[in-house]
Amino acid sequence: MAETTNMNPEEEKVFDPLDMNNYKVEKLPKMQKSGFERWMARLGGPIAVLVFVLIYWLANIGFLDNITADGLTGDKAIKRLKDVGGIVEFIRINYAMLAVFAAAIVLWVTEAIPNYLTSLLVILGVVLTGVVPQKEAFAQLGHPVMWLNILSFVLASMLVKTRVAKRFALWFVLKFGKNASGVFFSFIIINLVLSMFISATTVKATILLPIFMVVAAIYGAGNGQRNNVGRNLVLQNLFAVNIGASGFMTGSGANLLAVSIIAGAVGFDAISYSDWLYAALPLALILLFLGWFVGAKLIFPVSKAEAKPQIEGGMERLRKELNAMGKVTFDEIRSVLIFVGVLVLWVSKEWHGIDETTVAFIGAVVALMPGIGIVKWNDVDIPWHLMLFSAGAYVLGSGLNATDLHVTIVDAVFDSLGITANTPYWVLYVVLTGFMLLSALVFSSKNMRTMIFVPIAIATAQKFGYPIMSLAFPVALLIEHVYVLPFNSKPAALLYTTNHYSWSDTFKYGITMMGIAWVLIILWGQTVLQWLGHTPGLF
């Protein structure tokens, strides 16, 4: 005989704010494109084709037409000139590179087609127009940084499969989240720790979202109700997901892309894991603390009443979730040991001389090894669309290096603005870092911003005779500042659907933190980056 209950169907459908299953990503509402965004997507393809045709076949661009063999200074550009057999053909290749680059930007900005498909068109475009040889273009998928990207996802898959990341987050919140301030700081620490292991900001946001949603409900936020605890929890997690990633070279694929671009101009060993760590992690820690202070104390101050849990026994639901995971397994311990070993080898590269990609190879081989490993190949979640996107970005970088087009454009822009060789270094530093930060308000892809502004910084340094690292590295440290508006990044779009804050809320908090970040990176250029030998100091 079937078991019956006294609950009617309506009562059975009552929303339980403390049930983590209610906050799975697939249950959150999807962000719908606005009318303007839909029109942009429809027009993006035709506009991209028109831009390509106009630049490649019809335009007469003075600074490209005036390129001379005597005026070339880049070694790669001079070699390319010899390869193609003359200045006329070299100018044609520059037009082709500019046409491909501009069309790709249009497609990426309008999202007319998936970004990975744009990258495939980029690769096809530079090959068919002869910007770079086929072998060089296709070889970008095997770039050492591409391998580091892939292998980082292999290692991160251990943490996802074993659920050790979720266990750590639950344990940390239960251990130290006794009050609202403790909760805020707990998630800051959790995001930092996960950033060492997981090179995808969206994955981190997805892991943590159900946990901080339950915590927000415990403090009275959720199910249509907003308060400052909920606003701070979600906005500070969005901030920490990104800024935590900025502290580590492997924190995101965009960081690795920047490293590869700079390495192409300076040399493979231009930036090591420890170089990035020493320069970026202290800055990230300061920003994370200021993010808490600005949010919880100034913009969305938490009252004494809000700082107290509103649902009795709420934390016990989290404890039940942790207990349901059972005891720590041997696989969890092994996954942590493997990754810690990789981190130690990354940081100690100066002692043993093994580069970051080879170290990741070692870790991935151990992780996949039958008998002693943790994951099988089918367990590994590699976002190949991101890999293809990155490959296209690297091909664009290869094309820019082959033509020195970015140097030519920067020369033309600076000449038109009357910026001369006497322009002080600090002016260039302030302008470039400012543009890099503000670009996040327009572009929805960190990789795209990296592809545009890191080469510009490199070209500017070359034009004015400064070390490439002195301008390119500070710009690269600002890649992860994508938290002001919901469309600025995938984590921003995901967390906006939690309905814990409005557009004005995220803009107020985000633009304030972006302004603070600009001030800090300027101070960093005068102090830490100068002490580490990356900049000559600003003043």
For the residues of 332-346, what is the DSSP string, one character each?
A: HHHHHHHHHHHHHHH
| Residue in the block written with tokens 């630049």 | 55
The answer on pLDDT for 289 being more than 60 is yes
Residue where a domain stops, chosen among 358, 379, 400: 379
Asked whether residue 318 falls in the same domain as residue 371, the answer is yes
Please indicate, yes or no, if residue 60 is contained in any of the structural domains. yes
Asked whether residue 178 falls in the same domain as residue 280, the answer is yes
Please indicate, yes or no, if residue 473 is contained in any of the structural domains. no
Q: How confident is the model at residue 12 (pLDDT cuts 50, 70, 90)?
A: very low
Mean pLDDT (whole number) for 142-157:
82
Asked whether residue 167 falls in the same domain as residue 227, the answer is yes
Please indicate, yes or no, if residue 349 is contained in any of the structural domains. yes
Signed CA dihedral, 42, 43, 46, 48: sign only: negative
Classify residue 13 by its DSSP letter.
Answer: T
Number of Cα atoms under 13 Å in the Cβ half of residue 209: 25
Distance CA 341, CA 196 (A): 12
Contact indicator for 77, 403 with CB cutoff of 8 Å: yes
Asked whether residue 351 falls in the same domain as residue 254, the answer is yes
| Structure confidence at residue 2 (pLDDT) | 42
Distance CA 278, CA 529 (A): 9
Residue span of the structural domain in which 335 resides = 146-379
Please indicate, yes or no, if residue 204 is contained in any of the structural domains. yes
Q: How confident is the model at residue 514 (pLDDT cuts 50, 70, 90)?
A: very high
Distance CA 509, CA 283 (A): 19
What predicted TM-score, i.e. pTM, was given to this entire model?
Answer: 0.80
SS3 call for 248: coil
Residue where a domain stops, chosen among 322, 348, 379: 379
Most confident of 33-37, 263-267, 276-280, 397-401: 276-280
List % helix, strand, coil for the chain (3-state, nearest 5).
Answer: 70, 0, 30
Asked whether residue 239 falls in the same domain as residue 340, the answer is yes
Cross-strand bridge partners of residue 225: 222
| Structure confidence at residue 5 (pLDDT) | 43
Please indicate, yes or no, if residue 158 is contained in any of the structural domains. yes
Distance CA 332, CA 164 (A): 6
Cross-strand bridge partners of residue 218: none
Contact indicator for 119, 393 with CB cutoff of 8 Å: yes
Contact indicator for 426, 539 with CB cutoff of 8 Å: yes
Asked which of 164-168, 333-337, 385-389, 431-435 is least confident by mean pLDDT, the reply is: 385-389
Asked whether residue 153 falls in the same domain as residue 197, the answer is yes
- pLDDT tens digits for 159-193? 778 888 888 888 888 888 778 888 899 999 999 98
Classify residue 303 by its DSSP letter.
Answer: P
Contact indicator for 276, 534 with CB cutoff of 8 Å: no
The answer on pLDDT for 133 being more than 80 is yes
**Could you tell me the CA-to-CA distances from 3 to 8, 119, 205, 363, 467 in Å, in that order?**
14, 57, 40, 52, 76
Please indicate, yes or no, if residue 515 is contained in any of the structural domains. no
Mean pLDDT (whole number) for 202-227:
82
**Could you tell me the CA-to-CA distances from 414 to 402, 422, 460, 539 in Å, in that order?**
22, 12, 9, 22
Most confident of 209-213, 269-273, 454-458: 454-458
Asked whether residue 95 falls in the same domain as residue 231, the answer is no
The mean predicted confidence, pLDDT, of the chain is 84
SS3 call for 420: coil
The answer on pLDDT for 38 being more than 50 is yes
User: In what helix (H) or strand (E) does residue 442 lie, and over which residues does it extend?
Assistant: none
Asked whether residue 151 falls in the same domain as residue 107, the answer is no
Asked whether residue 332 falls in the same domain as residue 247, the answer is yes
Asked whether residue 182 falls in the same domain as residue 312, the answer is yes
| Structure confidence at residue 4 (pLDDT) | 44
Give the total number of structural domains in the chain.
2
Asked whether residue 297 falls in the same domain as residue 365, the answer is yes
Residue where a domain stops, chosen among 339, 360, 379: 379
- Percent of the chain at pLDDT exceeding 70: 91
Asked whether residue 80 falls in the same domain as residue 158, the answer is no
Burial of 394 (0-12, 13-18, 19+ CB in 10 A): buried
> Which residue in 95, 97, 94, 122 sits closest to 108, CA to CA?
122
Most confident of 44-48, 172-176, 249-253: 44-48
| CA terminus-to-terminus distance, the chain | 84
Contact indicator for 451, 396 with CB cutoff of 8 Å: yes
**Could you tell me the CA-to-CA distances from 147 to 47, 121, 161, 296, 322 in Å, in that order?**
34, 22, 21, 40, 35
Residue type, 376: K
| Structure confidence at residue 238 (pLDDT) | 94
Q: How confident is the model at residue 19 (pLDDT cuts 50, 70, 90)?
A: low
| Structure confidence at residue 21 (pLDDT) | 62
Please indicate, yes or no, if residue 480 is contained in any of the structural domains. no
Please indicate, yes or no, if residue 446 is contained in any of the structural domains. no
